[in-house]
Structures are given as C-alpha cells and as structure tokens.
Amino acid sequence: MSKRTALITGASRGIGRACAQALSLAGYRVALAARSIDRLQELANEIQNAGGETFVMELDLANREMITDALSKAMKEVGRIDVLVNNAGVTKDGLAVRMKPADWDTVLQTNLSGAFFVTQQVLPGMMRERWGRIVNISSVVGEMGNPGQANYVASKAALIGLTKSLAQELGSRNITVNAVAPGFIETDMTHGLTAELKQRMLDQTPLRRMGTPQDIAGAVKFLVSDDASFITGHVLDVNGGIYM
C-alpha cells in the first residue's frame, strides 16, 4: 500500500506541530499548513531530517479563495488527502457586550468555516477511495462554555455539531469523522494567561497538571489509525478530568 497523506492545519506550532510529528513517525506523509511559512519550513526540515516526507503550504483559513487554491495545488503535488486534522484556530477574546463584529467574524471564519471548506476540498478524493479519517480539534470550552470567549466557544461547539453531521453523512463511504476536545494545554495560546488564572484552571483539573500538545497528538494518532475504524461521530475529551 502506498503511504497515506495527512494534512494538518495550524501545523506550525503547538498541537498542530505535535500532530504532524506524531503522524510522520507513524508512517504518514504529512502536508503542513499554516499562515507562517517560515515556521512550517523549520518543521518540514526537522521531519525530513528524521526520514519523513512532507509538503508545505501557506494557508489562511479566513480566506476561502486561498483554501481552494492551496488545496488544489497540494493535491496535484501529493495526490489525495487521506487524513485531515482540522487544528488551526484563533482567539479574539472579549466580553459579549463589547465584542467587535470583526472579532466575532474572524474567529468563526477561521475556526469553523475554514475547517468546513478545507474538509469540503478533501472529501471528493476520500469518497472516491472509500476511505478517510477526519479529526476536528474542538475544545473543552465548546462543551462547558467560558466567559469572555463567546466567539471562540461558539466556533468550537459548532465544530462538534459539524463532526456529528459529517459522521452520519460520510459513514457509508468508510470515512470516519471525530473530534478531540483538549482541556488546559501548554501552548502559545495559554502561555499569556495570568499565573492566577492558570492556577485556577489547574485546581479544577483532577490530574493537577496542564496537558501537553503530545497528549492531544496521541489521541489524534489513535483516531486516524485502523484501531479506531469503528469509531465515528465521537468527541474524545483529553482534558485531565476538568469536564466529564
């Protein structure tokens, strides 16, 4: 069997980077997508030096035309995409009463619409092959809510709904669609939080530690593997017990 190709969005750092490394080590060719091409190239060099195969693509998920063009180019280069990890996400936090329309739109366009349009581009190839794996990276706040993040929470909750709908639509083609909902993870996104807020989150987490990007990558690697071939429409919580 030829090597399968996995596309990871938001691959330049954090969870996306860890997913790319884990899937490369598991034998996948990895297509790396993000806005920062320099960071992607660093990761690509690292993966290639370890014997892996990569393809790098600049991708801004808020730009629908760019999604179409980039995916078209990528599939000409690597053939179809067998595995899609919709990981890219942004935050523009603020209280609902003062949230700017642009901050609402940017987060929904990137986190939700962007994930949908990337998925739409890879589906024809998966459907033809009657095989595919899609994993959407949601968030624990998409399940439990969080003040000051109405836009982000709405986008991540909607990803769960999208996951379940696509799982029902695509199951007959042997394409599984699942979500991973990370809890409090040590990434650039959480790095800027105050010590007080971090401590409060840790106090609410039964395992009493922050998760790592590798914790999430392990869950993703499982869901795209043959071991998970009878799992679809599922939300896998990787959150240290902060929400059950």
Q: How confident is the model at residue 236 (pLDDT cuts 50, 70, 90)?
A: very high
CATH number of the domain encompassing residue 209:
3.40.50.720
> How does residue 187 score in pLDDT terms, banded at 50, 70 and 90?
confident
Residue 179 lies in a domain: yes
Residue 209 forms part of a structural domain: yes
Q: Indicate the burial class of 49 (C-beta count within 10 angstroms; 0-12, 13-18, 19 or more).
A: exposed
Q: Is 152 a catalytic residue?
A: yes
Q: Which two tokens stand for residue 12?
A: 């330049």
Describe the crossing of helices 114-129 and 64-78 by its angle, rounded to 10 degrees: 30
Percent of the chain with pLDDT over 70: 100
Q: Per-residue pLDDT averaged across 183-200, rounded?
A: 85
Cα→Cα distances 225→110, 176, 229, 231, Å: 27, 11, 7, 10
Phi/psi of residue 93, each to 5°?
Answer: -70, 155
Q: Is 195 exposed, middle or buried (0-12, 13-18, 19+ CB in 10 A)?
A: exposed
Q: Evaluate whether residue 244 is within a structural domain.
A: no
Predicted local distance difference test score (pLDDT) of residue 2: 76
Does 157 reside within a domain?
A: yes
Pairing of strands 5-9, 83-86: parallel
Question: Domain count of the chain?
Answer: 1
pLDDT of residue 233: 98
| 111-136 confidence digits (pLDDT tens) | 999 999 999 999 999 999 999 999 99
* pLDDT digit string, tens, across residues 44-53: 999 999 999 9
CA dist., res. 43 & res. 31, Å (int)? 11
- 242 in any annotated domain: no
Catalytic residue, candidates 104, 152, 179, 215: 152
Q: Which domain holds residue 85?
A: 5-237
- Domain annotation covers residue 243: no
In order, the DSSP letters of 178-189 are EEEEE-SB-SHH
Does residue 1 surpass a pLDDT of 60? no
Mean pLDDT of 60-85: 95
